[in-house]
Amino acid sequence: MKDVTEAQIGDTLYLHKQPVEPLPGFKSAKPMVFAGMYPIDQSEYNNLKSAVEKLTINDSSVTVHRDSSLALGAGWRLGFLGLLHMEVFNQRLEQEYNASVILTTPTVPYKAVLSSAKLIKEYREKEITIINPAQFPDKSKVTEYLEPVILGTIITPDEYTGKVMMLCQARRAVQKNMMYIDQNRVMLKYLFPLNEIVVDFYDSLKSLSSGYASFDYEDAGYQTAELVKMDILLNGNHVEELVTIVHKDKAHSVGKAICERLKDSLPRQLFEIAIQAAIGSKIIARETVKAYRKNVLAKCYGGDITRKMKLLKRQAEGKKKLRKIGNIEVPKDAFIKVLRTQPDK
């Protein structure tokens, strides 16, 4: 072994040329949540790299893949066992190594079953795993998409049962079991898509039940789902960092929420900015950042209306020309706001 990371928990070690039966029952921990991590300042990249390496020696269940983004620079895509695990890892980076990072909205690993033999040969497997939404294959290339599911167990006082069931149904959950533990408490079992609970489900559950409901879950494999890749466009140009994978039924509400957050985060320009959410070539949501306007009629005191119309027309033509040649630079803090903000509950 050249590296500490090569020693996995559960490995059976033996003397050279004296092999023994490996001990059964050990499985490596599977990451359930993936998030992009980038240094706030690229000059801190090497310091952050050594900090991540030291922490992963201590916590071998975190998987690390190199990643880069046009807006946020070089970074990593990290795999965690859950959202709490991700928060603890981030806190340890800040407290032990004084490292401040940008952590993008967590995503889950999806799978796609490839359709043609040519693609299977290219990827060297029939079923590919998608960690980064930007690498999501087109519908024409796959026979079906699969999303991870978990079996969730909720224990709640019976007075909150109705609210909890409505919350679960809103998250595309399928009820498997419901039983009364005692006179006041109910145990509900639901099959959840992991993507629906990964960001804010636990917070919503606690606030609905005044903090009384508890939630536990275990991995339940993958199931077929109608997934789509949603692109965000600024004046017709794709923004790669904001590509998201969503369920077909929720695409409109998620697209609208991202467009609204971008509208609040982007600085106004001298020309109008159209923010659009698109699935393929179909636009599903739109917001517009209005242009700054100079009052060109300030010098007109009375006079003929045609004089005013001529000035307004000239201004409109100027704005139109600016929009064609104008380049939108999205500030880093706008990306952080959009990527970090949780979807509307």
pLDDT of residue 239: 76
CA atoms of 147 and 228, how far apart (whole Å): 12
Q: What is the mean pLDDT of residues 204-214?
A: 87
305: exposed, middle or buried (C-beta count within 10 Å: 0-12, 13-18, 19+)? exposed
Between 242 and 159, where is the model more confident?
159
CA atoms of 136 and 112, how far apart (whole Å): 9
pLDDT of residue 107: 75
CA triplet 264, 265, 270: central angle to 5 degrees?
Answer: 90
Domains of the chain, first to last: 28-103 (3.30.70.870), 110-224 (3.30.70.240), 229-339 (3.30.70.2570)
Q: What's at 233, amino acid-wise? A: L
CA atoms of 221 and 206, how far apart (whole Å): 26
Token output for 181:
């533990």
Q: What is the mean pLDDT of residues 24-37?
A: 75
Quick check: pTM over 0.85? no
CA atoms of 143 and 64, how far apart (whole Å): 29
The residue to which tokens 């990827």 are assigned: 123
For the chain, what percent of residues have pLDDT higher than 90? 5
CB 250 within 8 A of CB 277: no
At residue 204, does pLDDT exceed 60? Answer: yes
pLDDT of residue 155: 92
CA atoms of 277 and 266, how far apart (whole Å): 15
pLDDT of residue 330: 61
pLDDT of residue 190: 92
Q: Which of 132, 326, 329 is CA-nearest to residue 241?
A: 132
Between 150 and 270, where is the model more confident?
150
Between 229 and 82, where is the model more confident?
229
